[in-house]
Chains A and B, each alone.
Chain A
Amino acid sequence: MTWIEGRFEENVITTTMEDAMNWGQQSSIWPMTFGLACCAIEMMATGASKYDIDRFGAGAFRATPRQADLMIVAGTVTCKMASRVRRLYEQMPDPKYVIAMGACTVGGGPYFKYGYHVVKGVDLVVPVDVYVPGCPPRPEALLEGLMRIQDKIKQRKVTRGESQLPVPHHSGYSALNV
């Protein structure tokens, strides 16, 4: 029994093209199977049955960047890994989104001062859409980050060729999407 059941019997739905497209895309954000350090354990927990990232349509972890929409950079990015992260990002098809998960990817984290080999934030390597702080972030925090990505997709003006940044809100709905 889903919320949509019984609501639209033998009816016509009117919507806009971009709403339908954005609705489709935000409901099937496929992340890339990609974990660098301990945050990946928490990302796996998010994917498992208790937190169940599949509720948001983002449970289909793809083993190749060419099928993925979302890169969750989970874990410490080292200088040696940075070029690989960049290459994986470039291999993803547009539209693509990046979540920086955890303190290390947000800004170097505990390695900021004395880590000789850690990139001080993955935004020095790839453009980041949503930062999820924490060491590691709780699965709820990652799901919140995923919902912010969904807000961002929801706000895209595909047909009008302009985009507005959503104002994040804890309810899961962005302020522009009235």
Chain B
Amino acid sequence: MDINEIHAILLEEFGEAAVGAAPHDCIDPWIQVAAESIVDVATFVRDDERMRFDHLNDLCGCDYFEPDEKKAKKFDHEPHVEVVYHLSSMSLIHRMKLKVSVPRWKDNAEGSLPEVPSVSSVWAIADWHERECYDLVGIHFTGHPNLRRILCPEDWEGHALRKDYEMPLDYHGIRNR
């Protein structure tokens, strides 16, 4: 199924408040979804007869930010973080991407993580993907059954794939730089 058709179906089902633009002049077209309606959209595209996206290939987090002030002028994105859902259908053999954009910090307060509803109730594999995304990019998935760090130690500070992340000087007495 073509991404434009899927976009039309989702627009009809959820309206423009929930489903945003679908740029299709790129290699990997995607559909922008509002954070609060991602669980509904995910459940819909999984269960709908025409789509049957029964497989979540991957769930990525992405930080759009340029910490260097000189380079920041040329940086043509608003600072934000994104969650990307790579979906495919095993029965209908087609693929799609969904994207959710949220501000880098909740309420612009540095240190408080932005919130995205968890889709681990829709695709069970999202459990670990979301834990990794939380661990490294720092996105809080609300409604997740077990949102703990998965790669870094539990007492690690910060989220390492944030562009403005500073490496710790030492970790439990081990020099780190």
A residues with a Cβ closer than 8 A to B are 79-80, 82-83, 116-117, 119-120, 124-125
Residues of A within 8 A of B175 (CB): 120, 124
Chain A residue at smallest Cβ distance from B177: A120
Q: Is the interface of B mostly helix, strand, loop or mixed?
A: loop
B174 touches A117 (CB 8 A): no
The listed residue (B160, B172, B174) touching A116 by CB distance below 8 A is B160
B174 touches A80 (CB 8 A): no
The total of Cβ contacts below 8 Å across the A-B interface reads 26
The listed residue (B153, B160, B176) touching A80 by CB distance below 8 A is B153
Residues of B within 8 A of A119 (CB): 174, 176
Minimum-distance CB pairs A-B, first 7: A79-B171, A80-B153, A116-B167, A116-B160, A124-B174, A82-B174, A119-B174
A79 touches B167 (CB 8 A): no
Is B152 an interface residue, CB under 8 A from the partner? yes
Tell me which residues from 143 to 177 in chain B have a Cβ below 8 Å from any Cβ of chain A: 152-153, 160, 165, 167-168, 171-172, 174-177
Within the complex, the shortest CB–CB distance from B170 to chain A, in Å, comes to: 9
Residues of B within 8 A of A83 (CB): 172
Residue pairs across A and B with Cβ atoms less than 8 A apart, 26 shown, are A79-B153, A79-B171, A79-B172, A79-B174, A79-B176, A80-B152, A80-B153, A82-B171, A82-B172, A82-B174, A83-B172, A116-B160, A116-B165, A116-B167, A116-B168, A116-B176, A117-B152, A117-B160, A119-B174, A119-B176, A120-B175, A120-B176, A120-B177, A124-B174, A124-B175, A125-B174
